[in-house]
Chains A and B, each alone.
Chain A
């Protein structure tokens, strides 16, 4: 067994993973190293392979090709005892109470009845569900169900926590409560992997991220590293028409880093927006509907590496 916090130790080591569902390639030579002990984000559009990768790491299905080691071992049933998973879609029995849900998980993951009960009570309290222990899952709100699923994933104190879009449909208050519970695990001999489409959330909580596209890893790095290649500021412009020539011209200007187009919106990453914007207005061939200036974000890096939805057209 390895210690998660040992320097250089990998929680996940994936090499050339390949898996297809019928004619659709879900993972295409995916290779990725996830260091132990931090929060790692998997970012990518729907269908990019995030959930498939999560189920593989959770030892619930194997790759057709390639190799995978999780917490130092090949995926197997025994590995699942060291992993806690929150799935993209709800995986709860609506007729069971919150307390019973955790009790069942505790027993399946090898805790004694008393240990499971004590730990369940502690986690329900930690995730703000202490007074709902005897309520049926069907009576809980969407956010509460999500918190219950996270609590369930933590019940057996896993060394690796896999969260597949854990905050989808969760309001900001619920989201804060959920992440508060998770953040406390950070660095406690525990690695957290989160698959999400919420780039702002990923930027806030992840130590390192990987951008996935079409079942492959496009780029990995810390949010700071990924933003480093961009300009310091992001200028979003919505053109009334689609002046490709103007975009191309601006790309050549000094201080302009990248130009990414997503529909009628164009994102310029620039060194200095104060000098860039007047110049853009001066040469604009048509009206500009909207313009905003923001610091460069992980979202900007995402669009640079992964591209907009338009580039996904034609994919399943």
Chain B
């Protein structure tokens, strides 16, 4: 079997593992949806934020929960490095006639596919129920959403690879993913417009790659026009560059696919 066949096989196995693990599958999608329902409707009715660029707060949050779903999913999916190491499967994969890079690629692509599909499902569930702008039309908007979500998950997979190269335990990996990524989510415009933030937080938001993912999703699905948004011409190239940089950095020092720390 050649390289592409091998990584597809490994990717298929990882995707199947997630589909089989119902609790992982559902929790990655339902937690953001629950957040959307309770926080979104609660804030909409209780606080009535007036500085939103377009419709209601629940609709505003859709982009944020889609990004959040990707974060959850990619964290779970990336932990498969550790699960395979601990179960011994990594040893078996390394005994096959394929390079460690091919194995890593298969696992990364699986992470991207899992994260992207789950995020798109969340978008598909939430969007029809809410008053979304779809300024480019639903079809074109969904295409932009799909491109954004895939690029975002590539970025997250690259980031996860970088972490996996440096963190020995699954617990440590989860901790660091949460510590690093969730603060980024809060400064991304996912739950409130970054324009209202203090200047230093606004600067942080501008150097935060997740800001551009949230912005692209809001431009495509939520906004009625591009005012008050960064815009797709900036969002998508920035995300793509960040994803490329993350993968390039992770390839400089890929995770050591060994066993028992030898």
Taking Cβ atoms with an 8 Å cutoff, the residues of A that contact B are 21, 58, 60, 77-81, 83, 85, 87, 89-96, 104-105, 107-110, 152
Interface residues on chain B, size class: 20 to 34
Q: Which of B70-98 contact A (CB under 8 A)?
A: 84, 87-89, 91-98
Q: What residues on A are CB-neighbors of B10 within 8 Å?
A: 108
Q: What residues on B are CB-neighbors of A93 within 8 Å?
A: 13, 17, 84, 87, 89
Contact between A95 and B21, CB atoms less than 8 A apart: yes
- Interchain nearest-CB distance for B103 vs A (Å): 9
Q: How far is the CA of A150 from the CA of B259 in the complex (A)?
A: 20
Q: What residues on A are CB-neighbors of B51 within 8 Å?
A: none
Q: Within 8 Å of chain A (Cβ to Cβ): is B6?
A: yes
Q: Within 8 Å of chain A (Cβ to Cβ): is B172?
A: no
Contact between A92 and B9, CB atoms less than 8 A apart: no
Contact between A108 and B96, CB atoms less than 8 A apart: yes
6 smallest beta-carbon distances between A and B, as pairs: A91-B88, A81-B97, A108-B96, A80-B97, A91-B92, A110-B1
Contact between B88 and A77, CB atoms less than 8 A apart: no
Contact (A108, B89) CB under 8 Å given A60-B95, A93-B17: no
Q: Which of B87-121 contact A (CB under 8 A)?
A: 87-89, 91-99
Query: Which of B20, B89, B92, B96 has the most chain A CB within a 10 Å cutoff?
Result: B92
Contact between B99 and A104, CB atoms less than 8 A apart: no
Contact (A90, B1) CB under 8 Å given A95-B17, A95-B20: no
Q: How far is the CA of A85 from the CA of B1 in the complex (A)?
A: 18
- Interchain nearest-CB distance for B257 vs A (Å): 10
Please encode chain B, from 193 to 231, with 1 for each CB lying within 8 Å of some chain A CB and 0 for all others: 000000000000000000000000000000000000000
Q: How far is the CA of A79 from the CA of B91 in the complex (A)?
A: 16
Contact of B99 among A58, A77, A109, A152 (CB under 8 A): A77
Contact of B98 among A85, A94, A108 (CB under 8 A): A108
Beyond the given pairs A90-B87, A90-B88, A93-B17, 15 more chain A to chain B contacts, judged by CB atoms under 8 angstroms and listed by A's residue number, are A58-B95, A77-B99, A79-B97, A80-B95, A85-B95, A87-B91, A91-B91, A91-B92, A92-B92, A96-B13, A107-B1, A107-B5, A107-B9, A108-B1, A108-B96
Q: What residues on B are CB-neighbors of A104 within 8 Å?
A: 9, 13
A-B contact pairs, 7 of them (CB 8 A): A60-B95, A78-B97, A80-B95, A91-B91, A95-B20, A108-B93, A109-B96
Q: What residues on B are CB-neighbors of A77 within 8 Å?
A: 97-99
Q: How far is the CA of A91 from the CA of B84 in the complex (A)?
A: 9
Q: How far is the CA of A163 from the CA of B20 in the complex (A)?
A: 31
Contact between B94 and A108, CB atoms less than 8 A apart: no
Q: How far is the CA of A107 from the CA of B7 in the complex (A)?
A: 11
Q: How far is the CA of A60 from the CA of B103 in the complex (A)?
A: 14
User: Chain A residue with minimal CB distance to B94?
Assistant: A60
Q: What residues on B are CB-neighbors of A85 within 8 Å?
A: 95
Please encode chain B, from 1 to 27, with 1 for each CB lying within 8 Å of some chain A CB and 0 for all others: 100011001100100010011000000
Q: What residues on A are CB-neighbors of B94 within 8 Å?
A: 60
Q: What residues on B are CB-neighbors of A83 within 8 Å?
A: 95
